[in-house]
Amino acid sequence: MKRQILSVAAAFLLSIIAAAQCDAQQTVMKVNIPFAFGAGNTMLPAGEYGIRRYALGEVVQLIRQSDGEPLILVTTLAVERTGKPLSPSLVFNQYGNDYFLSEIWTGNRQGRQLRKSAHEKELTSTMGRHEVAVLAHAWLFR
């Protein structure tokens, strides 16, 4: 019994190490956003941002201003595009002068979609929506 517990513990530890190694290299998108915007339930100022996967499976994305602040985590859903892959870009929903991050595309046919905040849902019901894309640069981060 003791030997089985040690085997399971060793296997668990190795899986954690392997996951950390697989996650050590990841794509980071760098983008200059010329307007203030909402991401999740947080409003962020205009500026240069880095966006990267935070958790395995890309469900959680980390958004950080290049100077280190602000730092937020947002949950996302997988989306797929048919046809020509998009360049690395962020897609925003615009309601009047308010912008909300809607999608993250890393330069292939798979992307990530953010859930709408309560404030964005409220604006959706009262205003027309326009999509705005902002091109990003992707690089490998270690």
Q: pLDDT for 10-58, tens place per residue?
A: 343 334 334 444 444 456 888 899 999 999 899 999 999 999 888 766 6
Instruction: Give the predicted TM-score (pTM) of the model.
Output: 0.72
DSSP 117: P
pLDDT in tens, 102-119: 999 887 788 899 999 998
For 66-109, what is each residue's pLDDT tens digit?
Answer: 887 778 999 999 998 888 777 888 899 999 899 999 999 887 78
Sort 73 into a burial class: Cβ within 10 Å, 0-12 / 13-18 / 19+: middle
pLDDT at 139 over 70: no
- Supply the pLDDT for residue 67: 80
123 versus 70: the higher-pLDDT residue is: 123
Where are the domains positioned within the chain? 26-141
Closest CA to 88 of 135, 26, 32: 135
- Residue 60, pLDDT > 80, answer yes
